[in-house]
């Protein structure tokens, strides 16, 4: 068994193969020189820690070795020979019986006339985080282009380090991808209270960058100066290997409900793949989240062993924004109506209902773990295609657990 990609998904799959009883060779290939590490902390606790950015490791050498997982670091896979079931790599050929592509995604780049704009930073890898951390200090100025989760997590860390931060989002509001406006408004207000300047709805007319300076000119004539420019404008699935091998690409490597490609010996999972979700009428989606990487790594490993287990997990996302935690279960854009449940101390959950009354998603925000329990119960209701009473959903004294048991 060979796994390309030593991130959260690929590493989880390697261990899941052992947990499922497979005792043959397992090779985990990573193009970075590090042990497998988690990416979410890079923009949060890893960024604000004293000294150098300290990654949170997924597994150390001892655990990998004791499980018989051969982790080869800093190796680049160049082609897949499907006919002979071999990989061409920067260190020679590697045969496979079954192959899992867990290649992840790469930051979408800022370009000018098709060429990357120089001296723009991106946050994806440990090396990226380490570089950004060296540039964030008291009174330094940071511009973040992109009002998504990563951009605002970085903004929160940067202001905590004493930097002046401006976030520029060309769309009319922040967090427009999958986050209800009611919650996005609260997140924006919390960042502004912490000193983050937010500019929305104005296109960028010009970008000028140097090694230690950046200037943005907006379409309305506003000029913004900074010491560092970080772009957080989305991610592109890493599909190059699969596409060159003739596998179908549809907003990621296209897989079926078992995470298998059209080639029965090749699977794909995590940020790099798109897959059908049965609870939403087999709508094909691609998810970039820690939970999805974990879930799909486990399911893919079982199916590499011919278990034929479908991937049925409800999408789940979370993000820490200063002292606020945002959690979403399901796909909010599937909803036609919304019901709000107030939990006290400013925390609340929005329940998203389809036209037929099915609960299709729940979005919550609050401090600490205020919304965690109810979001977990809502996730279970979504997975069951439940049709709870809307009036009951709005009442905090009506327990969601009772709806599950009813």
My answer on whether 142 and 245 are in the same domain is no
Characterize the bridge pairing of strands 266-268 and 99-101.
parallel
Domain final residue, candidates 276, 304, 332: 304
Model pLDDT for residues 360-401, shown as the tens digit of each residue: 999 999 999 999 999 999 999 999 999 999 999 999 999 999
User: Alpha-carbon distance 1 to 28, whole Å?
Assistant: 9
Q: Residue 67's pLDDT is what?
A: 98
Mean pLDDT of the chain: 96
User: Is the dihedral angle over the CA atoms 85, 89, 92, 98 positive or is it negative?
Assistant: negative
Give the pTM.
Answer: 0.95
Other C-beta atoms lying within 10 Å of the C-beta of residue 233: 18
310 belongs to a structural domain = no
In this model, does residue 334 exceed pLDDT 80? yes
List the domain range (segments joined by +) for residue 115. 109-231
Model pLDDT for residues 175-200, shown as the tens digit of each residue: 998 899 999 999 999 999 999 999 99
Both tokens of residue 289? 């989240």
My answer on whether 99 and 114 are in the same domain is no
* Tally of domains in the chain: 3
Residue 20 — left, alpha, or beta (φ > 0 → left; ψ -120 to 50 → alpha)?
alpha
My answer on whether 88 and 9 are in the same domain is yes
My answer on whether 16 and 94 are in the same domain is yes
Q: Residue 49's pLDDT is what?
A: 87
My answer on whether 386 and 354 are in the same domain is yes
Residue 197 — left, alpha, or beta (φ > 0 → left; ψ -120 to 50 → alpha)?
beta
CATH number, domain with residue 268? 3.50.50.60
Contact 56, 41 (CB under 8 A): yes
Domain final residue, candidates 257, 275, 304: 304
């Amino acid at each position: 068994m060979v796994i390309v990609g030593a991130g959260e998904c690929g590493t989880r799959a390697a261990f899941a193969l052992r947990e499922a009883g497979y005792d043959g060779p397992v090779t985990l290939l990573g193009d970075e020189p590090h042990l497998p590490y988690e990416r979410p902390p890079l923009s949060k606790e890893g960024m604000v820690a004293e000294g150098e950015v300290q990654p949170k490791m997924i597994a150390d050498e001892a655990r990998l070795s004791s499980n018989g997982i051969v982790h080869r670091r800093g190796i680049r896979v160049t082609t897949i020979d499907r006919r002979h079931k071999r990989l061409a790599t920067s260190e020679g050929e590697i045969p496979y019986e079954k192959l899992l592509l867990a290649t992840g995604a790469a930051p979408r780049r800022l370009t000018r006339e098709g060429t990357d704009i120089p001296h723009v930073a991106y946050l994806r890898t440990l090396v990226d985080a380490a570089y950004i951390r060296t540039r964030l200090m008291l009174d330094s100025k940071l511009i973040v282009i992109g009002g998504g989760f990563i951009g605002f997590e970085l903004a929160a860390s940067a202001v905590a380090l004493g930097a002046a931060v401006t976030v520029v989002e060309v769309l009319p509001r922040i967090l427009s991808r999958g986050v209800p406006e009611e919650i996005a408004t609260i997140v924006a207000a919390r960042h502004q209270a912490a000193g983050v300047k937010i500019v929305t709805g104005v296109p960028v007319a010009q970008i000028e960058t140097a090694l230690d300076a950046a200037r943005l000119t907006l379409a309305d004539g506003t000029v913004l100066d900074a010491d560092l420019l970080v772009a957080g404008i989305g991610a592109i699935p890493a599909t190059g290997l699969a596409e060159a091998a003739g596998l179908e690409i549809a907003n990621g490597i296209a897989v079926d409900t078992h995470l298998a490609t059209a080639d029965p010996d090749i699977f794909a999972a995590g940020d790099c793949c798109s897959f059908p979700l049965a609870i939403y009428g087999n709508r094909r989606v691609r998810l970039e989240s820690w939970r999805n990487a974990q879930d799909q790594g486990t399911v893919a490993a079982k199916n590499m062993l011919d278990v034929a287990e479908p991937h049925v997990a409800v999408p789940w996302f979370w993000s820490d924004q200063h002292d606020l935690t945002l959690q979403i279960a399901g796909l909010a854009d599937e909803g036609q109506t919304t019901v709000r449940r107030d939990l006290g101390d400013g925390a609340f959950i929005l329940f998203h209902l389809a036209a037929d009354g099915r609960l299709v998603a729940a979005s919550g925000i609050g401090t600490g773990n205020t919304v965690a329990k109810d979001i977990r119960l809502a996730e279970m209701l979504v997975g069951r295609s439940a049709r709870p009473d809307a009036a009951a959903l709005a009442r905090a004294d009506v327990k969601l657990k009772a709806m599950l048991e009813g």
